[in-house]
């Protein structure tokens, strides 16, 4: 019984671990930190802006990842000077900011589950007097058609990623169940074996018949 309980515990733990990838596949990536920080004020002109997410960002090439910097204030001029670069969980873009004011970072990435997610954050630029301001551009660098607009991107659909994760978890669970059954069968004796062995041990040893005493015969 103890062995069976242990096997069931192992099987249950294995099932939970096997289904963890499927559960993770349902979660979209979310922003963890940024540089500059959200709603922060910077005085030194940054050469790049970066966003770090909770999970690895999928990169399917040109246009699948976007990071645009516009401002200042309500202006829509672009101050990113390069396309977004994906490095694991971090997305970076080079920038050359203009005058003082609030800048908006608009981003779009592909989550680990295959779905594109987008949002925006803001920071304030307050350079010292006399700081050279970049002119910016109306549209930014050519990084793909409607790069920052949420929508479908090239790559496997999110539903396929989730399905593969579930199938993989079920396969692992099936293997664990098979291992438990094999171990249980190997440790269980066939029915009647113990009683048969006990009967053999208790039976008296048999040997050749001993001759009885000789009978006298009358003449």
Average pLDDT (8-28) is 53
pLDDT digits (tens, 9 = 90+) for 104-120: 999 999 998 899 999 99
150 token code pair: 């949420």
Return the pLDDT at 190: 53
- In this structure, of 2-16, 18-32, 70-84, 174-188, the range with the lowest mean pLDDT score is 2-16
As a whole number, the mean pLDDT across the chain is 76
113 token code pair: 């589950």
Q: Are 55 and 29 in contact (CB under 8 A)?
A: yes
Return the pLDDT at 212: 52
Burial class (CB in 10 A: 0-12, 13-18, 19+), 8: exposed
What is the layout of strands, in order, in the sheet containing 31-35? Answer: 31-35, 48-53, 90-94, 85-87
Q: Are 30 and 53 in contact (CB under 8 A)?
A: yes
pTM > 0.75: no
- Report the C-alpha gap between 64 and 173 in whole angstroms: 35
Average pLDDT (181-199) is 57
């Amino acid at each position: 019984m103890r062995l069976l309980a242990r096997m069931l515990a192992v099987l249950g733990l294995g099932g939970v671990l096997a289904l963890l990838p499927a559960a993770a596949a349902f979660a979209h990536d979310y922003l963890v930190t940024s540089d500059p920080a959200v709603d922060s004020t910077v005085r030194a002109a940054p050469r790049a802006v970066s966003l770090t997410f909770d999970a690895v960002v999928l990169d399917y090439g040109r246009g699948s990842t976007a990071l645009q910097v516009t401002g200042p204030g309500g202006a829509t001029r672009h101050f990113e000077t390069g396309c977004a670069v994906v490095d694991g969980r971090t997305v970076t873009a080079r920038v050359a900011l203009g005058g003082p004011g609030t800048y908006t970072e608009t981003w779009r990435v592909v989550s680990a589950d295959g779905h594109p997610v987008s949002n925006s954050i803001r920071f304030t630029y307050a350079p010292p007097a006399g700081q050279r301001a970049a002119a910016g551009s109306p549209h930014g660098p050519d990084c793909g058609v409607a790069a920052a607009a949420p929508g479908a991107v090239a790559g496997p659909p999110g539903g396929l990623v989730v399905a593969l994760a579930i199938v993989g978890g079920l396969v692992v669970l099936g293997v664990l169940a098979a291992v438990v059954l094999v171990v249980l069968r190997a440790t269980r004796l066939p029915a009647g074996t113990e009683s048969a062995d006990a009967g053999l041990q208790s039976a008296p040893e048999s040997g050749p018949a001993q001759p009885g005493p000789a009978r006298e015969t009358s003449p």
